[in-house]
Amino acid sequence: MKKNHLVRTLIIGALCIGTMATSCNKLGSSTSKEGAVARVNDVYLDKYEVLDLVPSNADKEDSLAIVNRFIDKWATKNLLIEAAELNLSKDKKEEIEKLVAQFKTDLLIKDYLEKLVQKNIDTIINEKDLKVYYDKYKNNFLVEDMLVKMSYANVLKDNSNYGTIRRYFSSNRSEDHNKLESMSLHMKTYALNDSIWVDVKQIYDKLPFLNSSNKDNYLKNNSFFEVEEENSTYFVKVNKVLSRGSVIPFEYLKTSLKMMVINDRKMELLKQYEEDILKDAKKNKRYEVF
């Protein structure tokens, strides 16, 4: 109850407290008793560590609960550290110290190399760069399910342009297909560009009659079909289909290829930096093997 009263006083008077310099360890603790709200042995939790914990709109009861939980967690952590220091073997603690040192080393190197790469990497990628990369690795880019070039429209049966839309959709003439664009307002849903590759999984929610089990029955090269519902009809025209295991087309991969090329350049730069720093150290007698 004494601690609760202290914490409540702390919260209520938070706006009145001035600044004070404290020496803190990694757990946000102080070695000074002055201004402390809790203690674990000779380690103190300074009141300034808990002032910003409570949301401005929280009531006193919630504020008190939030601060108490924080203090308990702080105490638990310090007590566990103390217990670990006392009970872990010297070898185990040395092993942990080595892991910490290695982690710090890895972070320093990673951050340094990333800054070098960001400063020096060539991010300009033209079509030729992408094509060269694609041709080199295209046998690794395989379709997982199915890619499709297709167009569709869902049209109400009582629409006055129903017959016209149906005729244009079933036609093989490019001018008829182009006319569909001007009639899009007469369609419930539609996608009229059949020159873009689309992952079949993106189509399932657009065409409710289609699913992973029956897609092969519907989606075939150079085909047109209709699916009637109670009040509307789906007109679907399939331009081209690539089944599982086919090589993914270049145009479908272009965005991803840019990232791959950048990553490749990054790896090459990192490799070059490592070779250069070693070569330079040998040249300047800063590194030698006995």
Q: Which residues of 272-289 are buried (b: 16+ CB within 10 A; e: fewer)?
A: eeeeeeeeeeeeeeeeee
* Bridge partners, residue 184, by sequence: none
Identify the pLDDT of residue 172: 85
Indicate where the chain has its CATH 3.10.50.40 domain(s): 142-247
Report the distance separating Cα 226 and Cα 218, nearest Å: 10
CA 194 from centre of chain: 30
Question: At residue 92, what are phi and psi to the nearest 5 degrees?
Answer: -65, -40
pLDDT over 70 (residue 3): no
Asked if residue 16 has pLDDT above 80, the reply is no
CATH architecture for the domain at 142-247: Roll (3.10)
Token pair, residue 140, equals 């690794």
For residues 157-173, b (16+ Cβ closer than 10 Å) or e, as one string?
A: eebeebebbbebbeeee
| Residue 71: partners with Cβ closer than 8 Å, 6 or more residues away | 3, 7, 37, 38, 45, 50
Structure tokens at 192: 């009229």
Range 114-139 average pLDDT: 93
pTM here? 0.64
Tell me: the pLDDT tens digits for 131-186? Answer: 999 999 999 999 999 999 999 999 999 999 999 999 998 888 888 888 888 898 99
> 29: pLDDT confidence band, cut at 50, 70 and 90?
low
Cα–Cα nearest to 198, from 138, 169, 239, 168: 239
Burial of 85 (0-12, 13-18, 19+ CB in 10 A): exposed
Mean pLDDT, all residues of the chain: 86
Which DSSP string do the residues of 239-272 spell out, in sequence order?
Answer: EEEEETTSBPPHHHHHHHHHHHHHHHHHHHHHHH
Q: Tell me if 117 sits within 8 A of 212, measured CB to CB.
A: no
Amino acid making up residue 17 = I
- Beta-strand relationship, 36-40 and 43-46: antiparallel
Query: What is the arithmetic mean of pLDDT over 50-67?
Result: 83
